[in-house]
Amino acid sequence: MKKIEIKSILQFLDKEGLEYEFFGNNRTFIQGFSSLANYEEETMTWVKSQEAKYNKEKKIKLCIVQKGVHIHAENIICSSNSKAIFFKTIDAFYQDKEEKEKIGNGTFIGKNVKIGKYVRIGHNCSIDGDITIGDNTKIANNVVISNRVIIGSNCEIQSLSVIGEDGFGYSEDEEHKKVMVKHYGGVMIGDDVFIGSHVNIARGTIDNTVIESGVKIAPTTHIGHNNIIERNSTVICSQLFGSVHTKENAYITSSVVRNQCTIGAYATVGMGSVVTKDVDDKKTVIGAPARELTRKAL
């Protein structure tokens, strides 16, 4: 990896408007990056917790440190947002710049698909229907996007995800024969949305399924038909059934949410929860069924 003068890193952080304090010699050079647990000489590393384990005999050339954490290093960048600084620095100075094909091998693009500038689409994808893809969006391999889908700018969709297929719904006749309900809505995805691998986002039945800007969806998540996920919310490895309304900045992890439920703004749904009723704004729920987590008086 190439050598970088710490002074150049500090200039980059200033340009990005990131707050930090620096202790050391900014004319020092580093060469690459490594984890704290497996620190490699001459590299930069990151520590976020005082409990982090590492070999204290190794001399750390540059450490990006979470504010309040104390560590011995030749040079230190201290910040309350150390994680962002560490990974932004890697992206700026060490990201793989290799140019890839705009559209990969074996990918089918339908005649009604509109593709913005600097879009990258991987191998063996199927993108067919009334679909719009915004500028700078990256779509990995084996992704299916169908029917009516609008995807904003600067989004990332990882491999093996499916967006825009019909959701699960049926009617029954007098003999209880199940007939699947045809869907007529679409999927609307805002800007700066991350969709991990093996994610399924169903189209709306009549109205659209909506994923607003800044939403992050981790791998192996199911978003049922008619969901609305408001801006900057996070959904991790969870199952959201039909017509769930997730308000802004909510956080849902490894959970199941019943259809028609509302998850309030800034609410947290903890690991392993089964949500069967609405969650109020700024509340934390856990358990099966999910109940509000309260702090008992000492």
Report the mean per-residue pLDDT for the chain: 95
Task: State yes or no: is 198 an active-site residue.
Answer: no
Domains defined along the chain, listed by start: 3-94 (3.40.1390.10), 108-292 (2.160.10.10)
The answer for residues whose C-beta is within 8 angstroms of residue 28's C-beta and 6 or more apart is: 5, 6, 61, 62, 74, 75
For residue 294, what pLDDT band results from cuts at 50, 70 and 90? confident
In this prediction the pTM is 0.86
Nearest-5° Cα angle at 19, 18 to 22? 115
Please tell me which residue in 70, 123, 222, 225 is annotated as part of the active site.
225
Q: What is the pLDDT of residue 56?
A: 76
For residue 58, what pLDDT band results from cuts at 50, 70 and 90? confident
For residue 87, what pLDDT band results from cuts at 50, 70 and 90? very high
- Select from 262, 234, 271 the least CA-distant residue to 250: 234
Q: What is the pLDDT of residue 100?
A: 60
Q: Is the pLDDT of residue 295 over 70?
A: no
Question: Which residues pair with residue 145 across a beta bridge?
Answer: 127, 163
For residue 297, what pLDDT band results from cuts at 50, 70 and 90? very low
For residue 53, what pLDDT band results from cuts at 50, 70 and 90? confident
Query: How do residues 208-223 score in pLDDT, each as one tens digit?
Result: 999 999 999 999 999 9
How deeply is 46 buried, as exposed, middle or buried, from its count of CB atoms within 10 A (0-12, 13-18, 19+)? buried
Radius of gyration of the chain (CA): 23
